[in-house]
Chains A and B, each alone.
Chain A
Amino acid sequence: MSTLDLDLTTGADHLLAQPLVYPGSVCALPLHGDIENLATHRARREMPVLTGSAFADALSGSELTGRGGAHVPAAWKLTAARDAGPGGTVVINGAEGEPGSAKDMALLQTRPHLVLEGALAVADAIRAREVVIWLHESAGASRASMAEAVRERRDELNVRVRMLLAPEGYVGGEASSVISAVRGGPALPQFSRDRVRPWGEGPAVLVHNAETHARLGLLALGANPVATSLVTVAESAAPLDFVRRTVLETDATMTFADVLATAGAPEPRAVLLGGMGGTWVPWTHLGGMSVDPWELRAAGLSLGAGIVHLLPKGRDGLQESVAILDWLAEQSARQCGPCIFGLPALADALRRTARGRDGGEARRIGDLVSGRGACRHPDGAVRMAMSAQEVFGS
């Protein structure tokens, strides 16, 4: 595909020119994915139009929320970071811990300059000292494209940009882990109940994932940052064995059935929506629903990190959930007792449910564990397990 085609096919409010397909589970350039270089990026707009307080004002007028799962309004975090004073750090969090997700990787690889645009606009608005790109060591293709993008801009950068390597695993991408690592501590979740100012005292460490930064980049370029949502349709051959992940751009006019048709995926039995700590929904219920955050919220659902994890027809939902819970228990940072001991106990209880012996034990353990970790890891595990009982329990 030429530069010209890209310009014609990617709308001003859009992040992707076409769906990107990732076979297997490794970080490699997707099929049909072209890296947008600085010249192509610039060709879309003259130059960034919004900086400083003009950018902050535009963000306050938008409805942009974080796209990592917690959906905290981006304007709240920017205001808190501005109030914290100059000298802070802006983090591009590219350490997607969700094995079913590929959307942040897709943006880091194909729209690195748009992601940087967002981070640089935020850095300017909060008078930050540096921008940190937080990536898994194994994320080879994302590291290469971001390094090249930074190199292309090296003569015009007025903040330091550095790359930090995240440990592999699920909780290394959790915002408080990233904050700790940026400050030279361990990349482990820290205890904080302040979603808007999770860095505590001192200059801000403002963390957004790659999609949120790309949307902040759209805003800086004068485009609508919330016209679309990115989702990853995750297909697996066995529990946790993802064989095909398709990243595509959706809007509220599309139903989940449209999403699957676009991805070319077969109709599933059910969907785990949001990620490993998401909610199971029967396909009969979800298929006709719009990919609309508001409609989903009204139904008690959330796109979470944008993952549409398919349970194929013929596979057992409770067995699948037990496998996921075992994996989530393994992914614990092993800091908090309720997570260390509660998640294996919850997995065992659900295993008994899967064998037809349901004494309500999973629910009892879930109530005991939920809300008792430093981070939200155990809460997600409990949410997934409870929805599994509801959807697949007899």
Chain B
Amino acid sequence: MRLAINPAACDGLGMCAHQAPDVIQLDPWGYPLVSGDELEGPEADQASRAIRACPRNALFVAK
């Protein structure tokens, strides 16, 4: 899977980085940096948790 973000929906709450510390880093303003790389195993699990945790529904699986 690949992780993607809708930047207009994201409010920089940072839940995703808590759920997926190995996948998502926050920029200096608190907004997530998402690489778009193919994720597998534990990293994919983290990404799935981050998607579920986002209160703004800003994260999704890229097609």
Contacts and interface: CB of A to CB of B under 8 A. Distances in A.
Interface of A: 188-191, 335-342, 345, 368, 372-374
Contact of A191 (B9, B11, B30, B31): B9
A189 B12 CA distance: 18
B6 A191 contact: yes
Interface in B11-49: 11-12, 27-31
B6 A337 contact: no
A372 B27 CA distance: 11
A336 B29 contact: no
A345 B7 CA distance: 18
B8 A190 contact: yes
A336 B27 contact: no
Interface residues of B, number: 12
B8 A335 contact: yes
B10 interface: yes
B30 A337 contact: yes
Contacts, number: 39
Interface of B: 6-12, 27-31
A191 B11 CA distance: 14
A337 B9 contact: no
Contacts of B8: 188-191, 335-336, 374
A338 B28 CA distance: 9
Contact of B10 (A188, A337, A341, A345): A337
Nearest to A192: B6
Given A337-B7, A341-B31, A342-B29, 14 more contacts: A189-B8, A190-B8, A191-B6, A191-B7, A335-B7, A336-B7, A336-B8, A337-B30, A338-B27, A338-B29, A341-B29, A345-B28, A372-B7, A373-B7
A61 to B, nearest CB: 32
A191 B60 CA distance: 13
A339 B12 CA distance: 12
A204 B10 CA distance: 27
A342 B7 CA distance: 13
A112 B56 CA distance: 44
Contacts of A190: 8
A340 B28 CA distance: 12
Contacts of B31: 337-338, 341, 372
22 contacts: A189-B8, A191-B7, A191-B9, A335-B7, A335-B8, A336-B8, A336-B10, A337-B7, A337-B11, A337-B12, A337-B27, A337-B30, A338-B27, A338-B29, A338-B31, A340-B29, A341-B29, A368-B28, A372-B7, A372-B31, A373-B7, A374-B8
Contacts of B28: 341, 345, 368
Nearest to B30: A337
Nearest to A378: B7
Nearest to A189: B8
A368 B9 contact: no
A300 B29 CA distance: 32
Contacts of A372: 7, 31
A317 B25 CA distance: 35
Contacts of A338: 7, 27, 29, 31
3 tightest A-B contacts by CB? A337-B31, A374-B8, A341-B29
A342 B10 CA distance: 15
A242 to B, nearest CB: 30
Nearest to A339: B7
